Each structure stands twice: as C-alpha cells, then as structure tokens.
C-alpha cells in the first residue's frame, strides 16, 4: 500500500510536470535555491562546533524554534504550497485508515522541503561531533525527531485550519476565540516587550530558551546538550518526551484523516435553513427611495443596478461563509497584527515603516483579488448567460470586497497612527492607503478578467496548490503585482513628502490619494467589465 | 420577422481543442414551437455545441442565430430570449435554493416583486419548496438539475436550451418537467434538449437530430429520423456499435 501511494504521488507529479513545464522550472529553481543554502548551513554548523556547549545549545534551540514556527505558519500564510496528497480525495475509494496512513506518512516525509531540512539538520548535528561519538548519535536522533515534529505539525495545522474554515459552527467559534486571544495577548505582548529586544536578550533569553528546552520543541537539543554534559538520564527522558510528542502529532493527524475520509465536504447534509436574503436585499434597495437607489451609480459605472445589487449580495455571502475567502481575509490580517503587537514593541521601527504598514495592508488586499473571478469557478455561467453583465459583475464583486476591506484598512490606519504616535501624518496616511486600495483593486479587477487561472474550488482545501495554476498563475501574479506597484507610486508620493519634509503635504495626499483611488477603481472596474463581456466565451474554460 | 423563421439557427459551427476537433461544421435549424432533441454518443460534441449556442464558449467559426438575432454579435437582444441549463458546471452553492432562483431573476433585471411571485411558482411546480431554505451545496444531483432549470425559466424566455435536463431526476419530477415543457412548446416556445436516453427522446420530443463526430448525421421530425425502425437502432446504425464484444467472464457469479 505504501508503494502504491508513493507511486500515485510520483505519477501525479510527473503528469503535472508534463502538463505545465513552468512547474518543472519551479522545481529545478527550488532545488537549486535549497542547494545554495547548504553552504551557509555548513558554515553555521562549523562555527557553532567551535563554540562552547552553552552557546551552541542556545543557538540551536533558537534556530529550531524558528524553523518549527515557520513549518506551522508558512503553509497557511502562503496558499498554494501544500502539494501533498489530499486525504479527502481517497474518500470515494473506500480505503480504511489503517491501509492509507503508512503511505501518507511516508509520502509526507518525501517532499523537497523535508529532504532539505533532513540534510540541514544532519549538518547541524555534526557540530556535536567534537564532543564525542555518543553525543553525535544523540544529536542525530534528536535531529530526526525534530524533523518529524516539524513535518507532522505542518500536516496537523493545515488540516485543522482547513477543517475549521470549512465547518460553519466551528468557524464562528474559532473567530470569537481568535478575537479574544488577540485582544488579550496583544497588550500582554506589548507589556512584555516594552523594554525592547536588547534587554530581553540580555536578561530573559537564557531562561526562555531553557524553558523551551523542557518542551517537546526544544527537547532534542536539550538531549544533545545533556549528553555532552554526561547526564544520560536527562538524555533519555528528553528523547522520550520528543518521541511521545511525535507520536501524539501522528495520532492527531490520523484522527483528522480518519474524519476526512468519511466526512466529504460536498455531502454535508445541511441543517441550517435561511430565508431568501437575496430578494430581501433587492426589495430593500428598491423601496429605499421609491426607485432603485443604484440608478445614479449605475449610470456612472454603466451597469444595470438590480444586477449589481444581486451580485454584490451573492459576493458578500461568499466572503463571510466560504472557507477560501475567509482564508484570504485571514492571511491578509496576520502580518499587520503581528507587526503592531509583536514586532514593533520588540524591535521598534522608524516612523516610515510604521506608516507603511496600512499601505502594505491595502496593497495586499487589493493584489489578493487579482484572480477574483476564478473563485466562482464554473458557476459564473449563470452570470455570462444572463446577458452583457460584465460591468455589473465586476462592480458587485469589488464593492463586496470594499465592505470588509475599508474597515480593515481603517483599523490599520488607526493602529499605525496611534502606535506610531504621529497623528499629524493622519491625512497623508489616509489618502495614501485609500489610494493604494483603490488602485490595486482596480488593477486586480482587470487582471482577474484578462489573466484568470484556476483557483481552489468550493469545498477544496483553501491552501492547496492547483493543477493548471502554476504557469498562468505565476504570469498573472507577476503582471498584477508589477502593475499595482507602478500605479501606486503617484499615490504614495505625497506621504513620502510628508514624512521627509513637512507634514502638511499630507493634506495634498489626502485629496489626491483618495481621488486617485476612487477614479482608478471606477475606471478599472469599468474597463474590466467591458473586457469581461468581450471575453465571456472564454471565461468558463479558463477557470474550470 | 417571418413567422416560420427558425427559433435557433446554427450555421457552420467549428470548435477544436488542441488537436481534437469537437465540432466540425455543424448546421442545424430548429423550427419555432418544436421540442427538439439532440442525441449522440459521448464526446459527439453536444455539450460543446450547446455551449457555443448559449454564449458560454466562443466558436472558432460559425454563426448562432436566435430568432434571427446573431447571439455573438448582438447579445443584448439575443440572450434575454434564451433560457439555459448547462451540464457539468457548478452552481453558486452558498446560496439557498430560493436565493439562487431570485438571483437569476434579479440578474436579468426583473422587478423583485415579479421575481418573488415567479420564484414561488417555480418552487411549487418543481417540488422544491422543502429545499428552498437549504443551501444548494447540500442538494442532491437531481435537485441541482431542477433548481438550475428553475433559474432558466424565471425570466420567461422564448427558447430553452437544456443539456441533459432529466439526468438524475426522479420520475415524478420528470413528469412535472415534461408537462411544463409541453405546455411551453404548445404556447409557441421552443425547447432544445440533449440526452442519451432514446426512450425519453422518443417520448418527449417531436423533432430530433443525431450528432456524431461533431456533425449532424440525421435530423428532422421524429418519424423522418426513425425511418420506420426504432430510434435506437437508427442511432446505432449511424453512429456505429461498440467495436469489439468482449465477455467479462470473470464477472460471472457462477
């Protein structure tokens, strides 16, 4: 069975490579890049071999902790990296958990990142050689356990988050828990890190690293350092702790896979019933002033208002209930939250960097929509068949994004101004952020119609890589990010002037930035709509 | 426009995907007021033809005329006349059944009050009232077909293009759909439907076209195409039987 699953994985990869030669390039590029990192790994190992045991232990604990966090967090932040075998695909084959688990486990360890980390950790453990052969053996065992922990943690975290986002009830609970967590932890982190990173490194680092070595994450390193000190009982219990943790992770993964094998997303058996909110929204809009309120907007943007209301209502429904859209909101908000509540209090930042965060937030939100149309998958046939609704579709989708994007960017602006302490830069930052949001959304509207590529289908793992997406996707992403940067430059200039010279440049930025943002958005959406109509016969095939 | 102009006119449609030629110079005239069946083996090009005729797939060459209006050159006038039920495409399954039908009506610019009334009629006629408040993602395949049919009907089109409308639909609902289509045709509308099931086509349709290899092999009224024999026999004669009859002896139970 293991061999069958590995062969399945190999065959899928070969077919993918044959179908898209871009993927082969990426594979080779990735391999070369990882190989180029090996010399620095070797140099680090050599350097640490020459240091005292204490320094070596602390350094390795820190390194391993960072790598562990990376393994858990990166697959979630950067969607499209998880190209492992999705257990949900085995659901219809009727394979039991006992037969499939060994194959999945082995295949998880045979990925390029896993092999690279295996080599890197092996090289790291050679720096324990000077202390003796047995210490090296312990270090090697510890390295293998660390690798297993990293890989299994990644598997478990991706599956958990995907499951969380896909189940309606747990999603609401998770959102509440995260909100409470952020509001509790953020002030705590600010207080703890208030004295700055240097004091922490000076006084608190060693105790923190020591306590990490008591946890399963740092236990392998602790085992190696205990071995070099000759405390063999300590070695055994640390290795046992590590092994136990690996087993626990593997069992958790197994439980998840077992659940996924018999609970396919598409056969949920819905119990939640809701009224027709589509019609309710339409009637509300119609009755507001006796005639469709969007009529003047419609004439402005050039599209039928009732269709816009319907499409916007539909898009908002998807934004707040579909796992893929929620994953997009999640990945956009993680960086600013981390920055304001962890990085800034710890390291401090120049004012320019702090003020740039809401701009980056706005730009990321806008760029993230560069493949927006493809998220409908082939369901967009309903929009295509109903007439020439290109502008209505793009306007409805864009305004639905604005519904959550504007408050989020607003929160980012407030956070930057309050935490950065420069409220006199407010007009500049507001103008630049709104401008960047508007221009990047406008550019994204155009690229999502002109360069669509396959996005995760409803019900799929929102973090998985898509067949057919790499070549077209890379090209579309490159073009859209380049265009976003170019169009954003004039919007950001007044803020730069306000930072460099005189804060009253900010008022210029407020006016020009907001105006540019709005105009770019409207023009971009109009043009995207026209292109949508022109390309309507190719869209279904492009996103299938 | 002359009264006997065809409801749908396909002239010289071509489509190729890479090296495969899916539709190879297809010509078809569908008379107004007919229930036209399109039959053909798997991969004959029925779905590709219907996609090109409804605006979902750009033809490499050819024209599509809906009551004399060119679909690809004048979609503003042609698309409102069409009601489309495609096959093998997803639906907006985060909406409930009722919401999907309302959405389809609002997209066409209909008055919300009209949409509400017609939506309730459609839900009752297609026996979907119980599922009107459930998300489409929790629907079965047959319910999906019915709700998509309702979306195609809400704006009262003149021509219905249905790709496998009876697939996975239970007999009771199939009877209801047949009645709806028959009265639609009797009042002057046109229905073009594709199917694999010969018995169904013989029962429901009054005209039929056999498509194979991307071309029309035979067309006309049901009697003309049958030419005295069974439709299935005529079909097999034109399209060709399975090449090799192989017995799966290992499948025998005793």
Do residue B75 and residue A388 have CB atoms under 8 angstroms apart?
yes
- The sign of the CA dihedral A371, A452, B47, A533 is positive
Please give the helix or strand (H or E) that residue B11 lies within, else none: strand B8-17
The token pair at A406 is: 């504007």
Give the Å distances, CA to CA, from A383 to A53, A374, A434, B81.
Answer: 66, 13, 29, 15
Is the CB of residue B61 less than 8 Å away from at least one CB of chain A? no
- Which residues of A fall within a CB distance of 8 Å from B93? 379, 458
The token pair at A314 is: 């539909």
Give the bridge partners for B14, in sequence order.
B24, B61
Cα angle, residue A237 at apex, residues A235 and A242 outer, rounded to 5°: 95
Amino acid B5: pLDDT: 82
Q: What gap in Å lies between CA A166 and CA A197, rounded to an integer?
A: 39
Torsion of CA A400, A405, A408, A414, to 10 degrees: -130
Is the CB of residue B222 less than 8 Å away from at least one CB of chain A? no
Do residue A386 and residue B104 have CB atoms under 8 angstroms apart?
yes
- CB within 8 A of A471, min separation 6: which ones? A20, A21, A22, A23
Identify the closest residue of chain A to B88 by CA–CA distance.
Answer: A378
- Which residues of B fall within a CB distance of 8 Å from A314? 92, 94-95, 103
Identify the closest residue of chain A to B113 by CA–CA distance.
Answer: A283
Position B1 pLDDT exceeds 50: no
- Which residues of B fall within a CB distance of 8 Å from A382? 91-92, 103-104, 107, 151
Is the CB of residue B115 less than 8 Å away from at least one CB of chain A? yes
Q: Pick from B57, B106, B132: which is nearest to A282 by CB?
A: B106
Q: Which of residues 150-169 of B touch A (CB under 8 A)?
A: 151
Do residue B108 and residue A277 have CB atoms under 8 angstroms apart?
no
Q: What gap in Å lies between CA A543 and CA A527, rounded to an integer?
A: 20
- Which residues of B fall within a CB distance of 8 Å from A275? 98, 133
pLDDT band at B236 (very low <50, low <70, confident <90, very high): confident
Cα angle, residue A190 at apex, residues A184 and A193 outer, rounded to 5°: 130
Identify the closest residue of chain B to A271 by CA–CA distance.
Answer: B134
Chosen for mutation from B23, B48, B52, B56 (greatest number of chain A CBs closer than 10 Å) is B56
Position B12 pLDDT exceeds 90: yes
Do residue A278 and residue B51 have CB atoms under 8 angstroms apart?
no
CA distance B235 to chain A (A): 30
Identify the closest residue of chain B to A276 by CA–CA distance.
Answer: B99
Please say whether the beta carbons of B61 and B13 come within 8 A. Answer: yes
- Which residues of B fall within a CB distance of 8 Å from A276? 96, 98-99, 102, 119, 132-133
Amino acid B237: pLDDT: 84
Identify the closest residue of chain B to A321 by CA–CA distance.
Answer: B94
Beta strand pairing call for B190-195 and B20-30 = unpaired
Q: What gap in Å lies between CA B46 and CA B164, rounded to an integer?
A: 10
- CB within 8 A of A139, min separation 6: which ones? A125, A128, A220, A223, A224, A227
Residue with tokens 């009877």: B175
pTM of the full predicted structure? Answer: 0.79
Is the CB of residue A290 less than 8 Å away from at least one CB of chain B? no
CA distance A383 to chain B (A): 7
pLDDT band at B168 (very low <50, low <70, confident <90, very high): confident
- Which residues of A fall within a CB distance of 8 Å from B66? none
Q: What are the tens digits of pLDDT across the range B119-166?
A: 999 999 998 998 888 888 888 888 999 999 999 999 999 999 999 999
Kindly tell me the burial class for residue B242, based on how many C-beta atoms sit within 10 Å of its own C-beta (0-12, 13-18, 19 or more). Answer: exposed
The token pair at B21 is: 């030629």
- Which residues of A fall within a CB distance of 8 Å from B109? 304, 306-307
- Which residues of B fall within a CB distance of 8 Å from A266? 137
Helix (H/G/I), strand (E/B), else coil: A332: helix
CA distance B3 to chain A (A): 25
Q: What are the tens digits of pLDDT across the range A200-215?
A: 667 777 777 888 888 8
Is the CB of residue A318 less than 8 Å away from at least one CB of chain B? yes
- The sign of the CA dihedral B201, B207, B210, B214 is negative
CA nearest neighbour of B173 among B137, B147, B139, B201: B147
The token pair at B59 is: 């033809």
Tens-digit pLDDT string for chain A (544 aa): 888 888 888 888 788 777 767 667 777 887 888 888 888 888 888 888 888 888 888 888 888 988 998 888 777 766 555 566 777 777 778 788 888 888 888 888 888 788 889 989 998 888 888 888 888 889 999 999 999 999 999 989 888 877 777 766 666 677 777 777 776 776 676 666 666 666 666 777 777 788 888 888 888 888 888 888 888 888 898 999 999 999 999 999 999 888 888 876 654 444 566 778 888 888 887 776 545 555 555 555 556 788 998 999 999 999 988 878 888 888 888 888 878 877 777 677 888 888 889 999 999 999 889 989 999 889 999 999 999 999 999 999 999 999 999 999 999 999 898 888 888 888 889 999 999 999 999 999 999 999 888 888 876 767 766 655 556 677 788 888 888 888 888 888 888 888 888 778 888 889 999 999 999 999 999 999 999 999 999 999 888 8
The distance between the two most distant Cα atoms of chain B, rounded to a whole number of Å, is: 66
Residue with tokens 């053909």: B40
Identify the closest residue of chain B to A312 by CA–CA distance.
Answer: B103
The token pair at B158 is: 């003149």
- The sign of the CA dihedral A84, A88, A89, A93 is positive
Amino acid B2: pLDDT: 45
The token pair at A109 is: 């360890």
Identify the closest residue of chain A to B120 by CA–CA distance.
Answer: A276
The token pair at A454 is: 């396959």
């Amino acid at each position: 069975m293991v061999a069958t699953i590995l062969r399945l994985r190999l065959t899928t990869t070969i077919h993918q490579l044959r179908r898209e030669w871009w993927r082969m390039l990426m594979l080779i590029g990735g391999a070369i890049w990882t190989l180029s990192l090996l010399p620095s790994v070797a140099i680090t190992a050599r350097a640490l071999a020459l240091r005292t045991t204490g320094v070596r232990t602390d350094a390795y604990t820190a390194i391993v902790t960072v790598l562990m966090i990376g393994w858990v967090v990166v697959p979630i932040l950067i969607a499209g990296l998880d190209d492992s075998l999705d257990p949900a695909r085995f659901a219809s084959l009727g394979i039991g958990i006992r037969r499939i688990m060994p194959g999945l486990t082995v295949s998880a360890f045979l990925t390029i990142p896993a092999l690279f980390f295996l080599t890197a950790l092996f090289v790291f453990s050679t720096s324990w050689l000077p202390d003796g052969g047995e210490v090296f053996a312990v270090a090697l065992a510890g390295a293998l356990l660390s690798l297993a922990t990293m890989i299994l943690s990644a598997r478990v975290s991706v599956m958990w988050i995907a499951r969380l986002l896909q189940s309606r009830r747990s999603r609401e609970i998770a959102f509440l828990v995260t909100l409470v967590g952020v509001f509790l932890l953020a002030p705590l982190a600010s207080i703890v890190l208030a004295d700055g990173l240097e004091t922490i490194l000076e006084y608190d680092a060693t105790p923190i690293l020591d306590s990490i070595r008591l946890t399963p994450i740092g236990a392998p390193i602790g085992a190696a350092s205990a071995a070099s000190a000759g405390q063999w009982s300590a070695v055994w219990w640390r290795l046992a702790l590590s092994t136990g943790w690996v087993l626990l992770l593997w069992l958790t993964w197994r439980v998840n896979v077992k659940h996924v094998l018999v609970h396919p997303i598409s056969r949920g058996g819905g119990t939640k019933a809701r009224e027709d909110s589509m019609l309710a929204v339409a009637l509300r809009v119609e009755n507001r002033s006796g005639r469709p309120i969007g009529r003047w907007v419609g004439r402005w943007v050039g599209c039928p208002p009732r269709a816009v209301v319907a499409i916007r209502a539909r898009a908002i429904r998807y934004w707040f209930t579909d796992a893929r859209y929620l994953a997009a909101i999640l990945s956009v908000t993680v960086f600013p939250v981390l920055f304001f509540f962890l990085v800034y209090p710890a390291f401090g930042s120049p004012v320019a960097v702090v003020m740039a965060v809401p701009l980056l937030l706005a730009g990321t939100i806008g760029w993230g929509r560069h493949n927006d149309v493809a998220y409908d998958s082939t369901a967009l046939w309903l929009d295509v068949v109903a007439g020439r609704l290109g502008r209505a579709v793009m306007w409805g989708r864009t305004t639905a994004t604005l519904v959550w994007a504007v408050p989020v960017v607003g929160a980012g602006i407030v956070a930057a101004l309050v935490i950065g302490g420069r409220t006199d830069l407010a007009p500049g930052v507001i103008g630049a952020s709104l401008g960047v949001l508007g221009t990047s959304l406008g550019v994204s509207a155009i690229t999502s119609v002109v360069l669509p590529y396959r996005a995760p289908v409803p019900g799929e793992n929102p973090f998985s890589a898509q067949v057919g997406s790499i070549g077209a996707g890379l090209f579309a992403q490159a073009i859209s990010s380049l265009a976003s940067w170019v169009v954003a430059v004039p919007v950001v200039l007044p803020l730069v002037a306000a930072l460099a010279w005189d804060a009253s440049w900010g008022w210029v930025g407020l006016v020009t930035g907001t105006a540019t943002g709005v105009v770019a958005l409207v023009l971009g959406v109009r043009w995207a709509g026209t292109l949508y109509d022109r390309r309507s016969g190719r869209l279904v095939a492009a996103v299938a | 426009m002359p009264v006997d102009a065809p409801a749908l006119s396909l002239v010289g449609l071509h489509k190729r995907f890479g090296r495969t030629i899916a539709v190879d110079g297809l010509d078809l005239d569908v008379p107004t007021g007919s229930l036209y069946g399109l039959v053909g083996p798997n991969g004959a090009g029925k779905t590709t033809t219907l996609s090109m005729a409804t605006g979902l797939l750009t033809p490499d060459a050819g024209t599509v005329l809906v009551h004399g209006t060119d679909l690809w050159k004048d979609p503003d006038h042609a698309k409102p006349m069409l009601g489309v039920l495609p096959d093998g495409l997803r639906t907006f399954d985060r909406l409930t059944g009722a919401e999907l039908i309302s959405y389809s009506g609002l997209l066409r610019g209909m008055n919300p009050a009209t949409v509400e009334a017609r939506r309730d009629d459609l839900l009752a006629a297609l026996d979907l009232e119980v599922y009107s408040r459930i998300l489409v993602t929790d629907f079965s395949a047959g319910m999906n077909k019915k709700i998509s049919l309702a979306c195609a009907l809400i704006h009262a089109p003149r021509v219905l293009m249905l790709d496998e409308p009876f697939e996975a639909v239970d007999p009771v609902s199939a009877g209801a759909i047949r009645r709806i289509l028959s009265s639609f045709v009797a009042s002057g509308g046109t229905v073009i439907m594709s199917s694999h099931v010969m018995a169904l086509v013989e029962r429901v349709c009054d005209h039929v076209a056999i498509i194979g290899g991307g071309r029309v092999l035979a067309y006309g009224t049901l009697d003309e195409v049958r030419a005295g024999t069974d439709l299935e026999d005529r079909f097999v004669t034109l399209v060709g039987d399975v090449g090799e009859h192989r017995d799966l002896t290992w499948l025998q139970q005793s």
